[in-house]
Amino acid sequence: MYNPHFKHLEFEGFRKQAGLNSFVMTPKRWIETTNAIGITSKAGRYGGTFAHMNIAFEFASWISIEFKLFIIKEFQRLKTDESDRLKLNWNLQRTLAKVNYHIHTDAIKENLIPTTLSKDKINFVYADEADMLNMALFGMTAKQWRDANPKAEGNIRDAANIEQLVVLSNMESINALLIHQGVQQSERLKQLNSIAITQMKSLLQSRAIKKLK
């Protein structure tokens, strides 16, 4: 968006190599190869790697799902305060629609932790990758959810709470990497289900998150 001289072809080369054991990335290599801006890297006693705040937030969100949820919650709080001051009819779901965050304030319950999938479900091939992610996190496909909730408005993801959507967003990135690595869908489903369980437990048990409620 802000760098008209960014070298997209070089970036595509990096993206194809990402995830390989032989792939090594350093800030200096990234800057010199792609002509990137927003990141600087200096050697020496007073050197180091420095990044624009937006880039730093993205790195932190990638490393910590708790931080990612904190950013979303903080954004929600600031926009609500702004709405109160300006008397605007502000809608968080409409604002975040482009990044697929449908925020809901349902209470956290113990049954939100995904269940471990059976071997039969793991071996079942899902034609739709989105449904594979639904199975990994919710334990059912979009159609199965609609059949079980005929009177509900929206779809399975509209009914999810913010913690589930944060985990789902992370799973989409991980799934893309696994696809690039050539991992079969049944194995990806197994790994993603395990990741969903771990991350949901982490979010639900986080003291920092509880303070945000």
Q: What is the pLDDT of residues 127-159, one digit of tens each?
A: 678 888 999 999 999 899 999 999 888 889 888
Residues 201, 79, 106, 121, Cα dihedral to 10°:
-50
Tell me if 144 is assigned to some domain.
Answer: yes
Q: Please count the residues of the chain.
A: 213
Give residue 30's pLDDT.
92
Is the distance from CB of 139 to CB of 114 less than 8 angstroms? yes
Residues 47 and 72 in one domain: no
Is the distance from CB of 174 to CB of 167 less than 8 angstroms? no
Give residue 113's pLDDT.
53
Residues 84 and 42 in one domain: no
Beta carbons within 8 Å of 172's beta carbon, 6+ residues apart: 133
On whether the pTM is more than 0.85, the answer is no
85 has pLDDT over 80: no
Give residue 5's pLDDT.
93
Other beta carbons less than 10 A from residue 58's beta carbon: 14
Measured over the CA atoms of residue 205, residue 119, residue 136 and residue 146, the dihedral's sign is: negative
Tell me if 2 is assigned to some domain.
Answer: no
Q: What is the mean pLDDT of the chain?
A: 79
Residue type, 204: L
Find how far residue 73's CA is from the centre of its chain: 14
Residues 75 and 173 in one domain: yes
Residues 144, 98, 172, 18, Cα dihedral to 10°:
160
Tell me if 202 is assigned to some domain.
Answer: yes
Distance CA 211, CA 34 (A): 41
191 has pLDDT over 90: yes
103 has pLDDT over 50: no
Q: Which of 61-70, 108-117, 120-129 has the lowest mean pLDDT?
A: 108-117
Residue type, 49: T
Distance CA 212, CA 62 (A): 20
Range of the domain at 90: 64-212
Give residue 31's pLDDT.
93
Residues 26 and 72 in one domain: no
Residue 144 Cα distances to 140, 150, 155, angstroms: 6, 10, 11
Is the distance from CB of 133 to CB of 172 less than 8 angstroms? yes
Distance CA 19, CA 189 (A): 18
Domain count, the chain: 2
List, in sequence order, every residue forming a beta bridge with 40; answer none if it has no partner.
Answer: 50
Q: How much of the chain exceeds pLDDT 90, in percent?
A: 24
Beta carbons within 8 Å of 120's beta carbon, 6+ residues apart: none
Confidence band for 206, pLDDT divided at 50, 70 and 90: low
pLDDT (mean) for 35-63: 89
pLDDT (mean) for 107-119: 56
Tell me if 131 is assigned to some domain.
Answer: yes
Tell me if 1 is assigned to some domain.
Answer: no
